[in-house]
Amino acid sequence: MFFKINDAEPFELEQLKQLQRKGAFYFFRHDAQRNEALIVPDEMCFGQLGEKEVGRDLPLRLQKMIRARFDHSAPAWTVNHKTLDFSRGPLIMGILNVTPDSFSDGGRFYERDRAVERALQMEAEGASLIDIGGESTRPGALPVPEEEELRRVIPVIEKLRSKSDVLISVDTYKSSIARAALKAGADMINDISAAQFDEKMVEVARDFDCPIIIMHIKGTPRNMQNNPYYEDVVEEVYHYFEERIERLERAGIGKIIIDPGIGFGKRLEDNLHLLRDLKDFTFLQRPILMGTSRKSFIGKILNKEVDERIYGSLATQILAVQNGANIVRVHDVQATQDALKILKAVQYFETD
């Protein structure tokens, strides 16, 4: 990975040369007339250089970016006496829509016992997390009254918790729903608005010290696909997460997962750019969730209906994991588990 340094002072270029002599870079080229430099850090050598050796020899922002790029450690969080360990990833989050109108499986698991049965099936197939939602957020969807959303999700969470210790996420942007779900046995919050639609969501996440998934969305589910536009979707979403992470951390929230929001106020090309350049978000040093399962951009590319998008979904999930995703949110758990097992076997295969 190249790093380009613009407007470097002469003494900074000299400091970079000193690091080059210590073997910190695979590649180093500088242009004194333009005051710029191109470098490719050596992962091993840079990792072995002590803080005093690097010290002020690199601009602070560049130090942070390089260390983030080469820091392969993954967090392990204690969540309600359970462990959410990202080093065991990629983790699979199974989707459970307790709704009559979700774009893919709306109505199939609307009844409590069928929903719980489906959750247990996904756990058996390899899901580490179950994401339970009672309001559709498909393009054009209208809000559901809080009383109705509570009626849909709380009985499912309570019964599932009585039968399993699987990690449960509640998919909601309403603080009252999140609070009730966490009291009923849920472990974390999945908020499509990144705690912006309901500012009290910050208090709930802090009060329960639970992980929160923050997603990027442009607009609301009702209007998000009304001609969305970006000059640079990756840059805009990246800066959005920088701002949201900073604000949540100031509020005392540390267990933050980011979701670029595929299909939420994005054009086809925006979704593809986010998937291709997902590695850029690893610089934020937060676990990344990617939700591509059965979405319309896959249908547009393949000319397939929702229930015919499993193979396209698997392709996007493999790409997401290769590009840095720690969690994939999916409908087809068994198929995803099989695909990721093969990917992992290839990645960690060693010859004699």
* CA dihedral of 224, 228, 231, 232, whole degrees rounded to 10: 50
Which residues, 6 or more positions from 125, have their beta carbon under 8 angstroms from its beta carbon?
Answer: 94, 333, 334, 337
By C-alpha distance, which of 38, 13, 36 is closest to 25?
A: 38
Q: Which of 323, 265, 268 is nearest to 290 (CA)?
A: 323
Record the tokens describing residue 320, joined without a space.
Answer: 């997401």
Residue 199 Ramachandran class (φ > 0 left, ψ -120 to 50 alpha, else beta):
alpha
DSSP letter, residue 62: H
Contact 298, 311 (CB under 8 A): no
If one counts every other C-beta atom within 10 angstroms of the C-beta of residue 7, the result is 8
**Residues 148, 110: contact at Cβ < 8 Å?**
no
Beta pairing, strands 212-215 & 188-191: parallel
Of residues 121, 317, 291, 119, the one with CA closest to residue 214: 291
Instruction: Please tell me whether residue 91 adopts helix, strand or coil conformation.
Output: strand
3-state secondary structure of 93: strand
Catalytic residue IDs: 295, 329
**DSSP string for 261-330:** -TTSS--HHHHHHHHHTGGGGGGG-S-BEE--TT-HHHHHHHT--GGG-HHHHHHHHHHHHHTT-SEEEE
263 conformational bin, left if phi > 0, alpha if psi -120 to 50, beta if neither: left
